[in-house]
Copies of this chain bind each other. A is one copy, B any other.
Amino acid sequence: MRSGPLDAETILTATEDVLRRHGPAKATVLDVARVLGVSHASVYRHFPSKAALREAVTRRWLGQARDPLAAVAADTRQAPPERLRTWFTTLFTTKRTLLSEDPELFATYRVLTAEHSSAAADHVAELIEQLRGIIADGVTSGDFASPDPTATARTVFAATMAYHHPAHAPEWQTPGAEAALRSICALLIDGLRPR
């Protein structure tokens, strides 16, 4: 039996351990309670169902990829075109690192993300909001022309899909993948310049 207070973060870390060792089929409330040496009631106190637990750990995983991006989006020392390029490169390298460090866990979270589509949709909405901020800053600075920064954010996000959608993960390790992403960014940034 473990000692000390049982908080949500501890439960989620144990859930990820279970996922890492046993894949997406495991990670029920009972599995996690067993690993922590606590009653399942004390897990239910934080997460009222298996679905809630799995959704919460999925949201934590997605947030992990999102936090370094928020820092880039807010870094007004970088001019908006350079910031847009850095943002996409950071998104790509962060996801590629998560994949290469633990391919099975990456695959497990891909299954969970498909199961919890509202977590995935919220994640994408937050990424689009970060991009919108960079594009709006570019409009203010005169670097970009965009009548609708949210729509433009969606367009540049869709145009870089091959470098962040997990369906394309098998190609991320190929030589030249990052250079190819940079070529797309360069073309998009040129396309955004006022004329």
Complex interface: chain B residues within 8 A of A192 (CB): 187, 190-191
Q: In the complex the two chains form, what is the Cα distance from A188 to B151 in whole Å?
A: 15
Partner pick for A154 among B152, B154, B180, B190, CB 8 A cutoff: B180
Q: How many copies does the complex hold?
A: 2
Instruction: List which A131-158 residues lie within 8 A (CB) of chain B.
Output: 151-152, 154-156, 158
- Interface residue A98 (Cβ < 8 Å from any Cβ of B): no
Instruction: List which A175-195 residues lie within 8 A (CB) of chain B.
Output: 180, 183-184, 186-193, 195
Expressed in whole angstroms, the minimum distance between the Cβ of A15 and any Cβ of chain B is: 28
Partner pick for A184 among B155, B165, B180, CB 8 A cutoff: B155
Q: In the complex the two chains form, what is the Cα distance from A155 to B186 in whole Å?
A: 10
B187 and A158 form a contact (CB under 8 A): no
Complex interface: chain B residues within 8 A of A162 (CB): 158, 161-162, 165
A168 and B161 form a contact (CB under 8 A): yes
- Closest residue of chain B to A146 (Cβ to Cβ) is B187
Complex interface: chain B residues within 8 A of A158 (CB): 162, 180, 183-184
Asked, given contacts A191-B189, A191-B190, whether A155 binds B167 with beta carbons under 8 Å apart, the answer is no
Complex interface: chain B residues within 8 A of A180 (CB): 154-155, 158
Q: In the complex the two chains form, what is the Cα distance from A165 to B168 in whole Å?
A: 10
Q: Taking each of A151, A158, A190, A193, which has the highest tally of chain B beta carbons within 10 Å of its own beta carbon?
A: A158
Besides A161-B161, A161-B168, A187-B191, 10 other A-B contacts (C-beta < 8 A):
A151-B183, A155-B180, A159-B187, A159-B188, A165-B167, A165-B168, A189-B191, A190-B191, A190-B192, A190-B195
